[in-house]
Chains A and B, each alone.
Chain A
């Protein structure tokens, strides 16, 4: 048999049917639902008189539009309140389990599923959210899909798909202190560009990836979409199994051993051929930060903002000029010391317990600059409980940061947590598009330790100075 990649193997195991010259029907093992991209899908089912085919393979939470402030009060924004209520109505009507605020599990959809043990190697998983790639960290083929596809999967538990190309990213060596998974993925996107992965599924491999925790692997896979990739994958290993063991939906007893034996087979064959390969020297990486308005506009934290005049005249140069103007950056300036107004620690990229531990490690015994509004938003109620059990909330509060309720929050500024026009924020989230964190807001993407260091300094700072 021909050697196959991990992507090929998961794909092959999920082909339900295919007619000549038509797309494959790919079986979906699990669909995650949230309030923003599902209402029109449920309405579509209603109009056609269809049911949710597999409520047992569907699960919902609320994350994008809910406030991260006091949960005992009703949602103040009537439109957001209606959207949340609509999801609750839809789930009740169609028999889909939902974990809302106070359930003990509510959280950002991509934090909530792995910590529940729902995300298991070799599965296919979809969600109406582009950061669904997160789950690829478990060797799960996970696609962000549009609402029409959410409806199709609700109705048939299948997705119509054309195969993607195989792209392997090798990250060699070991990361230096102060350098994290976030820096790997920002460095990769800076190297290959925001369209560098278009049409591809990226498999991340190499020593640097193997040495990472599951939380860190999720940070990398999460941002595959920022390189334009359809999905990201990391082959499961002992780290994966140790993370899953004992989680609520993980197999138990003899079923656990059988599952692990099966999961071990979800790896690319040694002689599998990739359509594209890129190698990144992990040991040479520095902490990364973005200066512009797309995630590929990133530099080492000790670097300087690029000069547009170094580019040939054209759309690319114009885009850089426009980005620098929007961001209030000067060509050639050092990024270190660039003044900031806000720090946001959270999101599906960096809102897990390890991220909060890392930020707290920098903030412990220190104070954030009083001019910097610092929000720490746990990724889920589980993360929040764990952080509080470890006393991290007290570290953040003592440092002068805000400790909030779980949700997507200021990653996309749907819920009222937003920047004011002209404010600059170091954010641990995934997108620095114009206005992403609020109209006129300026976002610098970085790791939790870089964000925490910058909060203390009141300006972009090197986390290695705060070790």
Chain B
């Protein structure tokens, strides 16, 4: 992973609550065995007609939303399945941050592990962002934990210290976990397994 640096971008606004992972990336596209290329299928069934042409009334297909690196959506974004294909599809389509009033837990955790920053803002700030609409520019600064709107107003967002540090440094959590070999081995020695799953083969 590359270090997550501050950036400025246009926003794409998707004004819907409870956007679930089946909308972000429908299950029938999960047969891939790699992480790449899922951006083409992002929001597939909202984005395309049956004949494959783009639906012009879908907010993210509108000209103002093109090239945006920040997605803004409604409450409880990413609810549903644990598929990490959801953040993979979003980053593959060029998004680096998602702004909402709340996120589903698993999606939130998955995003942080894939250089996709979930930005939680208050309903008041969210309303201002929605009013600004697709195409309006914002600045995202993870180090300072701020989202700055085009009018210069700035909102601070929460992020735990640990994933923040991992994202800023561009290191993943597995590398961190591997440092604990001694502690893990000691725990395992004190807690024998109740069974061996290989015994039944």
Contact = CB atoms under 8 A, between A and B. Distances in A.
Contact of A294 (B20, B105, B106): B20
Contacts of B22: 412, 431, 433-436
B23 interface: yes
A433 B177 contact: no
Contacts of B162: 21-23, 160
Contacts of B113: 146, 148-149
Interface stretch (A51-59, A305-313, A352-360, A447-455): A51-59
A351 interface: no
Contacts of A59: 197
Contacts of B92: none
A55 B106 contact: no
B106 A195 contact: no
A128 interface: yes
A237 B100 CA distance: 41
Nearest to B77: A195
Interface stretch (B131-139, B147-155, B184-192): B184-192
Contact of B81 (A130, A157, A418): A130
A36 B85 CA distance: 10
A116 B84 CA distance: 28
In this complex, the member of B16, B110, B173, B191 whose beta carbon has the largest number of chain A beta carbons within 10 angstroms is B173
Interface residues of B, number: 59
Nearest to B162: A22
Contacts of B109: 146, 149
Interface string A34-72: 001101100110001000011111110000110000000
B183 interface: yes
Nearest to A198: B105
A435 B45 contact: yes
B51 interface: no
B186 to A, nearest CB: 8
Interface string A127-151: 0111010000000000011111101
Contact of B200 (A80, A82, A97, A129): A97
Interface stretch (A24-32, A214-222, A337-345): A24-32
A12 interface: no
A17 interface: yes
Given A86-B33, A146-B84, A315-B17, A228 B177 contact: no
B187 A16 contact: yes
A370 interface: no
Contacts of A146: 82-84, 106, 109-110, 113
Contact of A144 (B15, B106, B178): B106
A59 B201 CA distance: 10
B177 A29 contact: no
Interface string B45-61: 10000100000000000
A153 to B, nearest CB: 9
Most chain B CB within a 10 A radius of its CB, from A48, A194, A259, A440: A194
A166 B191 CA distance: 26
B184 A25 contact: yes
Nearest to B196: A56
Nearest to A32: B197
| Interface core residue of B32, B33, B110, B177 (most chain A CB under 10 Å) | B33
Interface in A77-126: 77, 79-80, 82-83, 86, 95, 97, 105, 116, 118, 120, 123
B110 A148 contact: yes
B154 to A, nearest CB: 24
Interface residues of A, number: 85
Contacts of B23: 433-435
A147 B79 CA distance: 16
Interface string A427-441: 000010111100110
Given A160-B177, A315-B75, A433 B16 contact: no
B112 to A, nearest CB: 9
Contact of A57 (B20, B114, B197, B201): B197
A273 interface: no
A158 B82 contact: no
Given A37-B82, A157-B188, A198 B28 contact: no
B175 to A, nearest CB: 9
Contacts of B114: 148
Nearest to B16: A319
A128 B174 CA distance: 16
B31 A40 contact: no
Contacts of A280: none
Contacts of B199: 249
Contacts of B110: 146, 148
Given A30-B197, A294-B20, A436-B27, A17 B180 contact: yes
Contact of A58 (B74, B194, B197): B197
A230 interface: yes
Interface string A215-238: 000000000010010100000000
A199 interface: yes
Nearest to A250: B195
B172 interface: yes
B198 to A, nearest CB: 5
Contacts of B124: none
Contact of A25 (B82, B102, B177, B195): B177
Contacts of B28: 413-414, 418
Interface of A: 16-17, 21-23, 25, 27, 29-30, 36-37, 39-40, 43-44, 48, 53-59, 64-65, 77, 79-80, 82-83, 86, 95, 97, 105, 116, 118, 120, 123, 128-130, 132, 144-149, 151-152, 155-158, 160, 162, 194-195, 198-199, 225, 228, 230, 248-249, 251, 259, 294, 315-316, 318-319, 322, 412-414, 418, 421, 431, 433-436, 439-440
Given A145-B82, A439-B26, 4 more contacts: A129-B82, A158-B184, A431-B80, A433-B20
